[in-house]
Structure 1
Amino acid sequence: MGMFGFTDNYSDHSTQEGYQFEFFCERCGNGYSSSYKRSVTNFGGKLLRMGGDLIGGEWGRKASDLGYNATWLNDSRGPARDKALQEAVEEIRPHFHQCHRCGEWICGPVCWNAERGVCVTCAPKLDQEIVGLQARAQVDQLNDRIRQTDWTQGTVYGQPAVGRCPSCSGETGGGKYCQHCGTPLAAASEAKRFCGQCGTQVAANAMFCTGCGSPTT
């Protein structure tokens, strides 16, 4: 049997019972499966297996398995498999186009630009590009509008920040007062604390002294 094309983007799902191939778009990955074709020559393998079963015993079972597997191996690598693949190629070919610019096999419904005669990677569909560009422009404009808005109101950033309230040990929320107990955080951050054991200055929210490890409460 002669050579045939359109075979670089497929998966072989054939079994000992028959043949089936799945072809994929090389851009989006969409797949189309060929019709399932039963193996004609595999029937001979089944006859061999039946003959071995009739003989019985270990020898008969081995003979039947060898005959069945040999038939399948010859069928899966020989002219029968090539014929089945060629028939699958001809069946699926109408669903694909080969882009003569990039050489990829492209599915017709999604990735083929019929107006330009090439794939949408080489020549995008303008209506789809407009939709994408408009969406990206909206996102860019939203970013600009959001950056122009002052989102720092109520946030203390001109003095040392206090992550945990020295009074309740809860997360402060970044404001002037603790969001849990209302303790003034500006005064807390400015007040100096010293360890009662060694005299080392410690942070306002420190639970232990960095000099000796003693509890600061």
Structure 2
Amino acid sequence: MQFHRRWYLPKVISFDLDDTLYDNVPVMQRAEKAVHNYITEQFPQTAEWDMHHWRRFRDEVSRTDQALASDMTKLRLKTLELGLKKFGIGDVSKAANTIMDVFLSERSNFQVPYNSFELLEALSQHYKLIALSNGNVDAGKIGLAKYFDQVIQPGDGIRGKPLPDMFAAAQRELPNLQPHEFLHVGDHPYSDVLGAQRHGWQSAWLTSGLGTSEHLSVLPTVTLHNLSQLQQLLLD
């Protein structure tokens, strides 16, 4: 544990979900594989595109619209529609939504580690908890929603982190609190650390996720190497 900025004991703790409270990499790998299998079975004319083709195409689509880049559900839908259209498939909107249903089902089909449930249960006795996730996991389906007063994800005009929308939406529900009374916990140097610090929140960067120090553009309030250190910081 290492402090980089002045520390205030928070009143609200917000959590990123993917790669913070669970390892999301194998989840996404399984979901991507299941979706690709479904696409090639239902639309065999697309078989020349493997998973890497679809991923590269999604990256291309994301660069055309900043709003899409911060909303993974809309981005995936747009990618599917445009990709299927390239292969001459009719009613691409209906087809894309059916494929998206397959993805969302697989994407939330996993077990959250027990220690994450234990941590949230313990913290919820002392702090208000919220979730701010750029992803499209179903927090209720994986058993996390019950711990959070709010679960905020991109959509309905709310853009993803590090843009201010999600932080501002959370703060509107708690207007009597100052920004420094919020602590955001996440693994991503850009969306989590930069996003929180830009909004005046404290940030706890969890190094056990996907981010590395080379990706930090601003220092977090505190660097943590695992969730046990978060419990030590807030409860011990």
TM-score class, shorter: under 0.3
Task: Name the larger-Rg structure.
Answer: 1
| Structure having greater relative contact order (Cα 8 Å, sep ≥ 6) | 2
Structure whose residues are more often helix by fraction: 2
